[in-house]
């Protein structure tokens, strides 16, 4: 009798139910444990600014937690998939997060149309910028404190598709002091040593998706997942940025366009 009862209880548990001791006619269910929530994706080494554009906001939320205040200028078009499409004279401006830095990394996802002018995915008044020119190439520029401009130029840059562009400078605190540009995790150019890049900015701060010098310099296309570090990321970390974004852990391929949510 006891053996039969144990067998019955074991079978019931295997089926997900068991008979309640105080009520022979009642059963209680053995609920499955909920799956652990996926951890939120975080950028490598943290970051100093992260604009995910999860909502249409006059002051887009800084997902890095650094509290950098960014202001939307004019009226770019927000897409519910979590990115902005820029038009003439639209841009985002923040305090100059790249002022007086000793190293840097800037990562953006862009989907560009053929340029008729020089379009700027980002520009820092301290002397760093990325532009897309009518010849169909990307140009990463650094202005030294002596006024010299050091350019890295890529081969033809595809239009009409989302791509991740990362610009770095090793800086002056060790390393080789070189600048680098990557497209989709692959290095496309490396400069010689630059020991005196940047200058003290006195005006427009850092801008994304356009440049206030002319409406024509606005990005002709869409922008998402702007990230800034005041340090250089390694080539492995840059490649991880691309592969994670391509897999939809963040960026334009993230489910519902949400970033930093773990969804």
Same domain, yes or no, for 136 and 11? no
Same domain, yes or no, for 71 and 190? yes
Same domain, yes or no, for 105 and 147? yes
Same domain, yes or no, for 29 and 57? no
Same domain, yes or no, for 14 and 104? no
Cβ atoms within 10 A of the Cβ of 149, count? 11
CATH of the domain at 138: 2.60.120.200
In-domain check, residue 42? no
In-domain check, residue 148? yes
In-domain check, residue 177? yes
Tally of domains within the chain? 2
In-domain check, residue 248? yes
Query: For residues 72 and 57, is the Cβ–Cβ distance under 8 A?
Result: yes
Which helix (DSSP H) or strand (DSSP E) does residue 245 occupy? helix 235-246
Along the 263 residues of the chain, how does pLDDT read in single tens digits? 444 444 443 444 344 444 444 444 544 334 444 444 445 788 998 899 999 999 999 999 999 999 999 999 888 999 999 999 998 889 999 987 888 788 899 999 999 999 888 899 999 887 889 999 999 999 999 887 767 888 999 989 999 999 999 999 988 777 788 999 999 999 999 998 887 776 655 556 899 998 876 667 889 999 999 999 999 999 999 999 999 999 999 999 888 667 765 43
In-domain check, residue 41? no
Q: Could you tell me the residue range of the domain that residue 18 belongs to?
A: 1-34
* 3-class secondary-structure state, position 86: strand
Q: Distances in Å between the alpha carbon of 29 and those of 11, 22, 24? A: 13, 15, 14
Can you read off the two tokens belonging to residue 84? Answer: 């902005």
Same domain, yes or no, for 115 and 213? yes
Same domain, yes or no, for 159 and 183? yes
Same domain, yes or no, for 178 and 99? yes
């Amino acid at each position: 009798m006891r053996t039969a009862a144990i067998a019955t209880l074991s079978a019931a548990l295997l089926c997900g139910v068991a008979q309640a001791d105080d009520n022979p006619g009642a059963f209680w269910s053995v609920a499955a444990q909920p799956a652990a929530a996926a951890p939120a994706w975080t950028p490598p080494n943290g970051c100093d600014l992260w604009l995910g554009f999860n909502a249409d906001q006059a002051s887009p939320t800084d997902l890095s937690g650094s509290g950098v205040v960014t202001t939307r200028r004019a009226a770019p078009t927000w897409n519910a998939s979590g990115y902005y499409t820029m038009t003439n004279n639209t841009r985002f401006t923040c305090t100059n997060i790249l002022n007086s830095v000793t190293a840097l990394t800037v990562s953006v996802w862009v989907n560009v149309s053929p340029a008729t002018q020089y379009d700027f995915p980002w520009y820092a008044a301290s002397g760093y910028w990325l532009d897309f020119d009518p010849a169909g190439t990307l140009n990463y520029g650094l202005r030294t404190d002596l006024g010299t401009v050091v350019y890295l130029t890529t081969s033809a840059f595809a239009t009409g598709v989302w791509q991740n562009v990362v610009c770095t400078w090793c800086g002056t605190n060790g390393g080789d002091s070189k600048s680098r540009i990557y497209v989709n995790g692959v290095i496309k150019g490396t400069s010689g040593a630059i020991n005196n890049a940047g200058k003290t900015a006195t005006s427009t701060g850092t801008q994304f998706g356009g440049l206030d010098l002319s409406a024509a310099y606005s990005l002709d296309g869409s922008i998402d997942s702007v990230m800034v570090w005041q340090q250089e990321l390694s080539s492995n970390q840059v490649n991880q940025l691309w592969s994670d974004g391509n897999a939809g852990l963040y960026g334009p391929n993230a489910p519902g366009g949400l970033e930093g949510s773990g969804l």
